[in-house]
């Protein structure tokens, strides 16, 4: 499994955990070893993933300018024009473990969404040269981002499993014959029961997730935080709900806890806010358990929404990309009323209006999810069995 940024993003962790279980069910006793190549191995070990699979560093830099690899690389680069030598050495863990009997799952759900993924192209080229079968597992891609180079890479996967129909249809339009439609594997992530945080009232708590990433897509600076602030103020003054602030990504460069802490500090004296796992003490299964006990979730993170949807928790997404729109469309037949684009936040009470409109439909949304979720989840393991047939 590659490329994996680390379990500080609990969506990434959820993909790994659920994929291991799915592949084990679909093709038991098939693999000699399950290996996860990670950019942040220490995060995965902290989350306990080392108990589920072998974890290896994706990137292994050269230790010294006096090492034989550095001297050889310098010679090859300057005299032979070998520009890729140092990159091949850096990714040597990946390439040494990829061969004709390897199933290489590219598991980054949105790794093709943020500019040209040069590192993925590089790894794919060498993994394929080694004879491994490559599968893109559970992706979302903005249709406009599919340039010629990307499409050429996508066509070389044996299968490309899109997790929503917007991406799937775009892949078909681009001639990617290996395109398949399959829900995100994290829909099948199990929950891990735990004591709910102090102050969390099961049956009377609204979950809130806020990501610093969505601020990059605002059309009005500060609109997202302002709207979240007004929403929390409304919930405190106009309802009796408790409010659980739930971070889902906790990387130094992209940390949900930073804006959530600002919210918490504004309203902590009300006694109505619960800051869930501020110390990043919960894994993805435990976070999913907490989310499952919310009445409604308002979230910016896709995998927080997946945790909620899969547990039939009505969810309003403050979205910015194809993944939020596409998943909501597949679940409800429309994104209207289920995804509110962050780009549409203009007035400070826009999110309050969306919440009030959504809240009156809470029971209907929950009943819809209860009815359709078994069939929706049931599509994932058969997709993995198709991969098993490929291997055979």
Mean pLDDT over the full length of the chain? 93
Q: Does a structural domain hold residue 255?
A: yes
383 shares a domain with 324:
no
Q: Which residues pair with 299 in a beta bridge?
A: 317
> So what's the pLDDT on residue 64?
58
Q: What is the pLDDT of residues 91-139, one digit of tens each?
A: 999 999 999 999 999 997 789 988 889 999 999 999 999 999 999 999 9
Q: Does a structural domain hold residue 347?
A: yes
Domain range for residue 255? 205-359
Q: What is the pLDDT of residues 138-178, one digit of tens each?
A: 999 999 999 999 999 999 999 999 999 999 999 999 999 99
> So what's the pLDDT on residue 60?
86
241 shares a domain with 303:
yes
> So what's the pLDDT on residue 90?
87
State mean pLDDT over 191-213.
96
> So what's the pLDDT on residue 177?
97
What's the total number of domains in the chain? 2
Q: Does a structural domain hold residue 342?
A: yes
Q: Does a structural domain hold residue 325?
A: yes
212 shares a domain with 184:
no
223 shares a domain with 173:
no
> So what's the pLDDT on residue 218?
83
332 shares a domain with 251:
yes
222 shares a domain with 157:
no
Q: Does a structural domain hold residue 121?
A: yes
Give the CATH number for residue 37.
3.40.50
Q: Does a structural domain hold residue 163?
A: yes
> So what's the pLDDT on residue 178?
97
245 shares a domain with 185:
no
179 shares a domain with 127:
yes
Q: What is the pLDDT of residues 261-293, one digit of tens each?
A: 999 999 999 999 999 999 999 999 999 999 999
Q: Does a structural domain hold residue 76?
A: no
42 shares a domain with 163:
yes
184 shares a domain with 120:
yes
Rama region for 246: left / alpha / beta (φ>0; ψ in -120 to 50; rest)? beta
Cα–Cα distance measured from residue 14 to residue 21, given in angstroms and rounded to the nearest whole number: 11
Q: What is the pLDDT of residues 306-340, one digit of tens each?
A: 999 999 999 999 987 899 999 999 999 999 999 99
* pLDDT higher than threshold 60 for residue 225: yes
Cα–Cα distance measured from residue 318 to residue 265, given in angstroms and rounded to the nearest whole number: 22
19 shares a domain with 146:
yes
Cα–Cα distance measured from residue 82 to residue 67, given in angstroms and rounded to the nearest whole number: 18
> So what's the pLDDT on residue 113?
86
The reported pTM is 0.94
Cα–Cα distance measured from residue 237 to residue 257, given in angstroms and rounded to the nearest whole number: 24
> So what's the pLDDT on residue 59?
92
32 shares a domain with 125:
yes
How sure is the predictor about 79, in pLDDT bands with cuts at 50, 70 and 90?
A: low
């Amino acid at each position: 499994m590659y490329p994996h940024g680390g379990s500080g993003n609990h969506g990434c962790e959820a993909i790994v955990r659920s994929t291991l279980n799915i592949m084990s069910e679909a093709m038991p006793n098939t693999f000699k070893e399950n290996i996860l190549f990670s950019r942040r191995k220490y995060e995965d070990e902290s989350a306990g993933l080392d108990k589920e699979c072998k974890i290896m560093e994706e990137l292994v830099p050269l230790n010294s300018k006096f090492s034989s690899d550095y001297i050889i690389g310098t010679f090859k680069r300057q005299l032979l024009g070998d520009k890729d030598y140092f990159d091949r050495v850096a990714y040597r863990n990946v390439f040494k473990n990829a061969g004709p009997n390897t199933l290489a799952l590219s598991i980054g759900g949105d790794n093709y969404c943020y500019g040209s993924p040069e590192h993925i192209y590089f790894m794919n080229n060498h993994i394929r040269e080694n004879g491994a079968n490559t599968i893109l597992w559970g992706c979302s891609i903005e249709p406009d981002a599919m340039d010629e180079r990307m499409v050429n890479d996508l066509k070389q996967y044996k299968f490309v499993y899109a997790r929503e129909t917007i991406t799937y249809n775009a892949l078909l339009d681009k001639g990617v014959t290996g395109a398949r439609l399959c829900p995100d594997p994290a829909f099948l992530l199990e929950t891990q029961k735990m004591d709910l945080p102090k102050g969390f009232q099961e049956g009377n708590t609204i979950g809130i997730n806020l990501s610093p990433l969505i601020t990059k897509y605002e059309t009005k600076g500060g609109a997202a935080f302002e709207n979240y602030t007004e929403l929390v103020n409304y919930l405190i003054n106009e309802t009796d709900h408790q409010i659980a602030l739930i971070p889902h990504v906790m990387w130094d460069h992209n940390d949900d806890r930073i804006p959530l802490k600002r919210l918490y500090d504004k309203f902590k004296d009300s006694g109505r806010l619960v800051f869930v796992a501020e110390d990043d003490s919960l894994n993805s299964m435990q976070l999913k358990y907490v989310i499952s006990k919310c009445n409604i979730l308002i979230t910016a993170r896709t995998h927080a929404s997946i945790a909620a949807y899969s547990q039939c928790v009505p969810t309003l997404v403050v979205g910015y990309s194809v993944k939020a729109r596409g998943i909501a469309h597949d679940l409800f037949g429309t994104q209207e009323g289920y995804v509110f684009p962050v780009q549409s936040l203009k007035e400070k009470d826009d999110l309050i209006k969306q919440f009030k409109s959504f809240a009156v439909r809470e029971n209907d949304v929950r009943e819809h999810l209860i009815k359709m979720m078994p069939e929706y989840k049931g599509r994932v393991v058969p997709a993995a069995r198709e991969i098993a047939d490929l291997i055979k």
